[in-house]
Every structure is written in C-alpha cells, then in structure tokens.
Structure 1
Amino acid sequence: MSNNFSTVERFNVSRETFDKLKIYEDLTKKWNPHINLVSKNTLNSMWNRHILDALQLVDYVDASTNKYSDLGSGGGFPGMVLAIIFSEQSPSTETILVESDKRKAEFLRTVSRELEVEVKVIAERIEEIPDLKANLITARALAPLDRLLSFVYRHLNADGIALLPKGNSYQDEITAAKKNWRFDLEVKPSMTSTDATILKIGALSRV
C-alpha cells in the first residue's frame, strides 16, 4: 500500500501529522540496521505492515482516554503511532511507552524529540514498574494472551480497555486465557491483514 496522504485521511489525520508519520518511518529505517526495531523483511512494506497496522487502533479508542500506555513498545508500534495521533487529536492524553531494551527506549526518546511529540518512555521491565493505572493499554507481539493479560490487569484501570493485535491463533489464545481470566471481548477485523485481528478487552478480572 502506498504511503500517501490518502491512506490516512479516513482517520482525520492532518497533513502535518502525516508528515510526522513519514519522518517516523524514515527514522525507523535509519536505525533498524543497528537495533532491529522491526523485521528487515518488512521494511519495504513498513507503511502498511507497521504504521497503518497501528493507526487502525484509533477506530476503537474512546474519546475520554486521558492516560494511555503501550507495553513492550519495541520500535513504537503501535505506541508511538498513537502518540503522534493523540498529539493532534487529544493533546491532553498522557502517553507512556514501556520498553526494557535501553537502545530501543533511546530510539523512542529520539523520535519523541525530533517530532516534538510528548511521551514518557520507561526503560524497565513491565512487571517491575509501579502500576500505571491507564485507561487504555496496547501491546503488540509481546506475549500469548494469558500471560499478556497479567500485565494488562496490573496496569489497567478497572474501567479501562485493552486493544491487543493478534495473529491467526487468537482463538486458541482466548480459550487458554479464559481458564484464568474473565473479560468482555470484542473481536475486530484487521484492515491490514486477513490473518490478523484486534482484541478489544474490558472488565478484566481473575477467575
């Protein structure tokens, strides 16, 4: 998919924000040979595989979201993409990216500075930081759902939601997770891959 303005217009993205997404793409490609932020096999299709894949989560974000955290941010997908969108559409939303790899955390801070998008980057392990009490959490390719929900449960407000992109094994992951967790679930189709889906989870509690 071409990385032109028409691909993001449906998300009410301004030309300025589109330009920031483009700069972010360029920075990722520049740093990737040294840090491995994304699979090198996806660099040529990065706009679709990573940026639009993250951007589609905007459709499921509640307008009242005021504290957002991305767990295991890696190169910043979806966390930095949503931070860029929030900086325009919801500037009062606090964004926290949690990434224990110090080099990747420094990359995220560099993107934040260069794009003038305010984010807090925590370079520590998810299970060792104080509870974030976020009302929106995302995590992409971090862990199987059962384990992932233990991280989400710790850092999500009781009335918050989690948006968790998953691959084609999501049904098996849901079945396994329900042995230990209760939750409201909506399964949303991915606009970038027929093999992917987005799990919207709320009302999370332990069995």
Structure 2
Amino acid sequence: MTPTDFQSLFRVSRETLDRLAAYEALLRKWNPAINLVAKSTLADAWERHLADSAQLFALLPPDVQVLTDIGSGAGFPGLVLAILGVPQVHLVESDQRKAAFLREVARVTGAPATIHAVRIEEVALPPADVVSARALADLSLLLPMAARLLKPGGVCLFPKGRSAQDELTGVRDSWNMRVEAFPSRTDPAGSILRLSDISAR
C-alpha cells in the first residue's frame, strides 16, 4: 500500500497524510535501534501498521473524547487515532526507549497524545471513552486491565487474529459484555472486536 492508496481508502486530508508520513519515516529511522516492529513488516508499513490502525477510527463512538491505548509499543493504534482526530489520547508504554519514540512522534506530528512510561497496572488516568490494545495479550488478561481504565458505558477496541473466537469463548464465564466483530480490512484472517457493556461476573 502506498500513501496515495491510504489516502483514497481513508479519505484523509493532505495535512493528515503528511503527518502520518512523518510518523512512518520516524518508525524506519528508530526501528533498527529499538525494534519497534518486526523488520519484515517495515516494507509495507502503510498497510501493516498505519492502515491496520486507521481502520479502527470508523468504529469509535461518535462522541469520543478520551482514548487510552495500553501496551502502545510503536504507537499502533493509539497514536494513529490521535493523528486522525481523537481529541485526547493516552499511550501507556512501560519500555522507556519506546516511550521516547512515542514522545518524538507526538512532537513531530503534533498529535494530541500524552505518553505514560509506566506499567499498565500502575497508571492512574481519568476514565476513558475507549480503551484500545493491539497485539498485547489474550482477552483474559486484557479485560481486567481495560475495565479499570474505562468509564461506565465505554467501549474497548481490540484488533485480533485467528484466535478471536477462542478468546471470547475463554472469557464467557467470567465477563458480561456486548460483542461486535468486524472483519479486518488489512488481515483476511483478522477481526476487530468492539466490546461494550463490560462487567465482571
């Protein structure tokens, strides 16, 4: 996928595309030293990382104000969603070098993102409208972390691979929630889980 392909798929402005291009350039610059993403995915970063994250934007609640992205790593999807227009994004990443990368991307792109270089279990944040996480953990581990950070009536967005259904089955007896699954636009075997009305049983 080229930047032009991305722009036509997501209908972003030229300014937004330029900010994402700056992000992609920093990813290439920093990746050899920090290993932010798998080297094999860098050649198609626009699809594997930027588009994979951007597709979540259409699934956000229309009135979203605060999004918390946990285990942010290289910033996907949280930092992309900040660049696309989420007003306030919190990125939680305990690795200090990755947190430094996130701060640099936020500075260069002007993204409305605050980076918290602490463990997810230790972060103290205002309740979020949305909690997101990509390639972080199984739902059995994700849900307790996310529920603590989510405001009542909030939503979780979790891109998942082939394991999505098995993970949902695994938490059925311990969590109540409304589950919506949307096919991934970048991974034929993947889906995006939108979870709401979440409560522990």
Aligned-pair identity (%): 44
> What CA distance in whole angstroms lies between the structure 2 residues aligned with 1:136 and 1:162?
6
1:168 is the counterpart of 2:167 = no
Which residue matches 1:15?
Answer: 14
Which residue matches 1:80?
Answer: 79
> What CA distance in whole angstroms lies between the structure 2 residues aligned with 1:155 and 1:57?
19
Deviation at 1:8, TM superposition (A): 2.7
Which residue matches 1:122?
Answer: 116
Structure 1: gaps (5+ residues): none
Equivalent pair of 1:182/1:205 in contact (CA under 8 Å): yes
Deviation at 1:131, TM superposition (A): 4.5
Letter aligned with residue 54 of structure 1: S
> What CA distance in whole angstroms lies between the structure 2 residues aligned with 1:44 and 1:174?
32
4+ long deviations beyond 6 Å: none
Equivalent pair of 1:100/1:125 in contact (CA under 8 Å): yes
Structure 2: gaps (5+ residues): none
> What CA distance in whole angstroms lies between the structure 1 residues aligned with 2:110 and 2:104?
10
Report how many residues are paired. 201
Letter aligned with residue 24 of structure 1: Y
Structure 2 counterpart SS, 1:187 = strand
Which residue matches 1:102?
Answer: 96
Given candidates 196, 199, 202, the residue that maps to 2:196 is 202
Equivalent pair of 2:6/2:46 in contact (CA under 8 Å): no
1:49 is the counterpart of 2:43 = no
CA offset digits 1:27-64 (Å, max 9, x no partner): 00110010011001111111111100000001101220
TM superposition score normalised by structure 2: 0.96
Given candidates 169, 181, 185, the residue that maps to 1:191 is 185
Equivalent pair of 2:3/2:46 in contact (CA under 8 Å): no
